[in-house]
Structure 1
Amino acid sequence: MARIAFILLCHKDPKGVIAQAKRLTASGDYVSIHFDGRANPRDFDLIRTALAGNPSVVFVRRRWKCGWGEWSLVGATLEAVRSAVEAFPQATHFYMLSGDCMPIKSAEYAHAFLDAEDCDYIESFDFFESDWIKTGFKEERLIYRHWFNERTRKWLFYTSYDLQKRFGLTRRIPADIQVMIGSQWWCLRRQTVEKVLEFCATRPDVLRFFATTWIPDETFFQTIVPHVVPRKEIRTRTLTYLVFTDYGMPVTFYNDHYDLLMGQNYLFARKISPEAIRLRERLGALWAASGVHFPISNEATGLFRFLTGQGRVGRRFGQRFWETEGSLGRANSLLLVVSKKWHVAKRLTAAIRRHSTIPAVDFLFNEQQAHLPDLGGVETTLEKRDRHRRALIRLLFEHFQSNQLVICLDPSALHLIQDLMSDKADTRLLLVDSQFDDDYLRGHIARVGLAGAQTAPEVVERLLPTVRADLEHEAERLRDMDFPGFQAIAPWRATEENAAQLARFLDVLPDTALKLAATEHLFSD
């Protein structure tokens, strides 16, 4: 009978990881856990303590600090595979999972499914001939070297790419391999995994090549497996069910999708919403069930395409994001930096990106260039961003794979601030107090169109007291709202006092907060 070693890559939700490991090992299977090296150490300690006595669980020796699109994801996977091969000699199959995956069949069904055919399950399409890549870089993923994370070090990523392109610094793909592409979620037989590891040990040139490609988790195993295994033994599909929206984001499943998921010809599904408690409970119980009949309809993908093409009300597959103003998520922390002097706020967010791992964007509802990543189109215009603002923020949490996010807002956007502060998420506000001298006020008057180049100076001078009072009143209105989690920094306060406010706002260590508060020329005009 098949015995599965699950390769579990995760970075959050320690309780969910523990429950997943206990559930999977209770069926006689095994779990090899890689918990992201960037994640909260307390979460990892909790997982290790809870699973320490389980002989069917192994932890990797080396934890990689993972980043989307980086080799680190492949490195972490290989580390977990090596640990599983060594620790579980009776494992017949190795199955890639994430912390967001849940079973949609019973263990009994999964074992029988894998016993029925001696083959590997992995998407493996020709990199150049297939249309698997819909938009963006294609051959550029391979022929140029990518040393920097596109999401966290965007300027370095694109500057490096532009320089290589300008000077023709391309490279050759190893001559004896055919690059393939597909989903990172696979299920491989033991003999295949051992051949892959042997290949890695004897071909460091291929590893070096893939280590500087972009998004290698979609190409490495997909290329190596058909290189070491006959094509007739490979089924070019994944056993994990997932659907992508037309914005390139994975569809999230909710409580009312249980019957639909059971009817798909897959063993697991992702992504299951963390808020879908009832669905998680039912799917967890399903894995341990016996004698369950699963009529396969495979209707879900076609139904999703039809409904999203038509537009609809309801949540059979979750509402499209522009149709809902739903919560940002109870587990998320939205950190609002509110400042009239935009340049001061942007200096602070730049410092946050430099000194911490918290993702920070600038005035995303006011400026076209706001340190935003590519989100598939919703970020392209300010009108789109404002119309789908909660969906945009949720996409940012998803993109950065973080439960914290800093954004900048102008204090005049009181309705937006009130709206976000009333969300179920942990929403905090940092007011950057400012002093408005006459030169700043004259510039502000010009920027907002109260006066133009031809306006008489005496008219501008008469406007100064009114505009100053209005700007000061904006800050007072925010204070009067008595928001929970309200903090404030100011140029007239001591660095240590500002650091204390920043530490509470960002939930960072005092040393980090002090570095932020001491940012050179932070409050300068």
Structure 2
Amino acid sequence: MARIAFILLCHKDPEAIVDQARRLTATGDYISIHFDARGGRAAFDQVRQGLKDNPNVTFAKKRIKCGWGAWSLVQASLYAVEAAEEAFPRATHFYMVSGDCMSIKSAEYIHDFLDKQDVDYIESFDFFESDWIKTGIKEERLTCRHWFNERTHKKLFDKNLWLQQRLGLKRDVPSDIQVQIGSQWWCLRRRTIEWILDFTRSRKDVMKFFRTTWIPDETFFQTLVRHLVPENEINARTLTFLMFTDYGMPVVLYNDHYDLLVTQDFMFARKISPDATELKKRLGDLFAAKGVEFQISGEGRSLFKFLTDRGREGRRFTQRFWETESSLGRDRELLMIVCKKWHVAKRLVAKIKEHTDVPCIEYLFNEEDTPLPDLGGIEKSLEKRTRHRRAWVRMLFDYFETNRMVVCLDSDALDLIRDFYNDRSSTRLLEIDCAFSDSYLEGHAKRVGLAGDQTPQDAMERLLPTIRADITHEHDAIRDAKFENIERISQSNTPEENAHAIARFLQISDEDALKIAKADHLFHD
């Protein structure tokens, strides 16, 4: 059975560190601790005193001062790994954690998980080819030498980087290694750890190279594992769940995140708030529990994004630079059907095609595979269609050789609707008001990644009112915008009532409009 040696890097809160170490070792696992030298001697002594009688605890033989983005973080990890490898010969896996991490599964579940596959769990993607780095310097992390820390000596960091670039000082990566990048929260097998430690002793050139790279904790272990371990024995993922805000800061987890955390396909999570005492207690009890079954849904990140995005209504009041000379045309009329239930709008469009000669395009800004003519590539991606929205729709008018055209939009497309209303062309809008059952909303949540098949029912029940309110907000926003030439049909209306609105929208006879309104199963799910 798997037995884990946790590698803990910490720098504060000695009482919490003692509690964490006791909890992680209570089920037979081990822990090796590096307590940052910046944390002070008194705090470190408090940790040692609190754990002195625990045989499953060891400490790095040397303490150093650690700095974010610096080699010291890797060196501290190596000190703790060396101590664990020596002290715990029965450890089968080595798992990197911090003082902000907590388990979100039982120890029994984690051990069974690790026993199922003989692999290392570590994110490792090609440094130069992947898009793992979103902001800041990239190649310069490696090709320049970094002697100063950006956070503590930013002017010196920037001056050093500028000077090397100005003088053309660019070093090569060691020729036999392919640098990888990924999360610093890994879980490696004992054999892999032994290979890494042997490598650090024999390859002084590689060690010298990484000592002056920037943020090496995202590249050092990732690179060495790929260099030393066969590819089929690496699972390029982290077992630690973490999320980031729009500003690149780690999301802090509180007491009310328990239900979300335990359904994620991860073993640990960070960052747990120091004030989340109830969450810590519940997760601590869970770690020691036996026979617990977990329903894995894995929608945590998409759900967080959805909830944080609510209430943010992006508005823009001027044209994009590529649209300043682009108009649909003064003599043209764009007819927009707005509906959250896409299948309802598509049924209506099918009937419009049957009874009129107006060209109709379904959700052209929402569905990648919407049937479209070849217009030179602009139709290939949703991003291109949306970015060049007016030029794109104008090309459709030209292609169909028409001055009237119907398009379908989602109810969340307020910015698109507003933009088309601001054009010189004529614009009409038909809003479809549908009923939303709980079963439909559950399916919608799963389709957009807010929930999964294994999402607990109580979590789903808390989510549905939020989704329902969000849809209501979208329709309210459209009505509050007070657009001209707007018509509405509703699931609660009779076909005759809806026919009058359709007739005005399409400017057709009431007789033809009624044929459209009587479409079979128009509002059925």
Q: Which residue in 1 is equivalent to 2:206?
A: 206
What is the CA distance between 1:50 and its match in structure 2?
A: 0.8
Gapped regions of structure 2 (runs ≥ 5): 313-525
Q: Which amino acid aligns with 1:296?
A: I
What is the CA distance between 1:303 and its match in structure 2?
A: 0.4
SS of 2:5's partner is: strand
**1:126 to 1:311, Cα distance in 2 relative to 1, 3 A:** farther
Q: Which amino acid aligns with 1:304?
A: F
Deviation by residue 1:445-482 (Cα, 9 ceiling, x = unmatched): xxxxxxxxxxxxxxxxxxxxxxxxxxxxxxxxxxxxxx
CA distance in 2, matches of 1:32, 1:106: 20
1:299 aligns with 2:299: yes
What is the CA distance between 1:311 and its match in structure 2?
A: 3.4
What is the CA distance between 1:56 and its match in structure 2?
A: 0.5
Deviation by residue 1:337-384 (Cα, 9 ceiling, x = unmatched): xxxxxxxxxxxxxxxxxxxxxxxxxxxxxxxxxxxxxxxxxxxxxxxx
What is the CA distance between 1:171 and its match in structure 2?
A: 0.4
Q: Which residue in 1 is equivalent to 2:269?
A: 269
**1:244 to 1:145, Cα distance in 2 relative to 1, 3 A:** same
Q: What aligned pairs does 1:372-451 form with structure 2 within 5 A after superposition?
A: none
Deviation by residue 1:160-185 (Cα, 9 ceiling, x = unmatched): 11111111111000010000000000
Deviation by residue 1:132-167 (Cα, 9 ceiling, x = unmatched): 100110001000000011100111111111111111
Deviation by residue 1:213-265 (Cα, 9 ceiling, x = unmatched): 00000000010001000010000000000011121110111111101100001
Deviation by residue 1:94-153 (Cα, 9 ceiling, x = unmatched): 000000000000000000000011000000011111111001100010000000111001
Q: What aligned pairs does 1:128-207 form with structure 2 within 5 A after superposition?
A: 128-207=128-207
SS of 1:105's partner is: coil
SS of 1:94's partner is: strand
SS of 2:141's partner is: helix
Q: Which amino acid aligns with 2:133?
A: I
Q: Which residue in 2 is equivalent to 1:326?
A: none
CA distance in 1, matches of 2:267, 2:236: 15
SS of 1:97's partner is: strand
Q: Which residue in 2 is equivalent to 1:240?
A: 240
Q: Which amino acid aligns with 1:22?
A: R
CA distance in 2, matches of 1:118, 1:285: 28
Q: Which residue in 2 is equivalent to 1:77?
A: 77
What is the CA distance between 1:40 and its match in structure 2?
A: 2.4
CA distance in 2, matches of 1:284, 1:295: 19
Q: TM-score, normalised by structure 1?
A: 0.59
CA distance in 1, matches of 2:222, 2:196: 11
Q: Which residue in 2 is equivalent to 1:127?
A: 127
SS of 2:290's partner is: coil
Deviation by residue 1:59-95 (Cα, 9 ceiling, x = unmatched): 1111110000000000000000000000000000000
CA distance in 2, matches of 1:216, 1:184: 9
CA distance in 1, matches of 2:296, 2:175: 42
CA distance in 2, matches of 1:299, 1:69: 30
CA distance in 1, matches of 2:166, 2:212: 18
Q: Which residue in 2 is equivalent to 1:50?
A: 50
Q: What aligned pairs does 1:301-316 form with structure 2 within 5 A after superposition?
A: 301-311=301-311
Q: TM-score, normalised by structure 2?
A: 0.59
Q: Percent identity?
A: 67
Q: Which amino acid aligns with 1:112?
A: D
Q: Which residue in 2 is equivalent to 1:10?
A: 10
CA distance in 2, matches of 1:120, 1:226: 10
CA distance in 1, matches of 2:184, 2:120: 13
Q: What aligned pairs does 1:97-108 form with structure 2 within 5 A after superposition?
A: 97-108=97-108
Deviation by residue 1:39-68 (Cα, 9 ceiling, x = unmatched): 122111100011111110001111110000
1:278 aligns with 2:278: yes
CA distance in 1, matches of 2:281, 2:175: 49
Q: Which residue in 2 is equivalent to 1:220?
A: 220
SS of 2:286's partner is: helix
SS of 1:188's partner is: strand
CA distance in 2, matches of 1:139, 1:122: 21
CA distance in 1, matches of 2:311, 2:3: 43
CA distance in 2, matches of 1:168, 1:181: 25
Q: Which residue in 2 is equivalent to 1:230?
A: 230
Deviation by residue 1:180-219 (Cα, 9 ceiling, x = unmatched): 0000000000000001111111101001000000000000
Q: Which residue in 2 is equivalent to 1:39?
A: 39
Q: Which amino acid aligns with 1:257?
A: H
SS of 1:9's partner is: strand
Q: Which amino acid aligns with 1:244?
A: F
Q: Which amino acid aligns with 2:241?
A: Y
SS of 1:251's partner is: coil
Q: Which amino acid aligns with 1:193?
A: I
Q: Which amino acid aligns with 1:245?
A: T
Q: Which amino acid aligns with 1:25?
A: T
SS of 1:54's partner is: coil
Deviation by residue 1:376-397 (Cα, 9 ceiling, x = unmatched): xxxxxxxxxxxxxxxxxxxxxx
CA distance in 1, matches of 2:296, 2:58: 34
Q: Which residue in 2 is equivalent to 1:90?
A: 90
CA distance in 2, matches of 1:276, 1:184: 24
Q: Which amino acid aligns with 1:234?
A: I
Q: Which amino acid aligns with 1:127?
A: F
How large is the Cα RMSD of the aligned pairs?
1.1
CA distance in 2, matches of 1:310, 1:235: 34
Q: Which residue in 1 is equivalent to 2:288?
A: 288
What is the CA distance between 1:306 and its match in structure 2?
A: 1.7
Q: Which residue in 2 is equivalent to 1:522?
A: none
CA distance in 2, matches of 1:53, 1:303: 43
Q: Which residue in 2 is equivalent to 1:22?
A: 22
CA distance in 2, matches of 1:164, 1:64: 28
Deviation by residue 1:307-337 (Cα, 9 ceiling, x = unmatched): 223337xxxxxxxxxxxxxxxxxxxxxxxxx
Q: Which amino acid aligns with 1:116?
A: K
CA distance in 2, matches of 1:311, 1:116: 43
Q: Which residue in 2 is equivalent to 1:115?
A: 115
CA distance in 2, matches of 1:27, 1:269: 19
CA distance in 2, matches of 1:30, 1:182: 25
Gapped regions of structure 1 (runs ≥ 5): 313-525
CA distance in 1, matches of 2:220, 2:88: 24
CA distance in 1, matches of 2:73, 2:289: 33
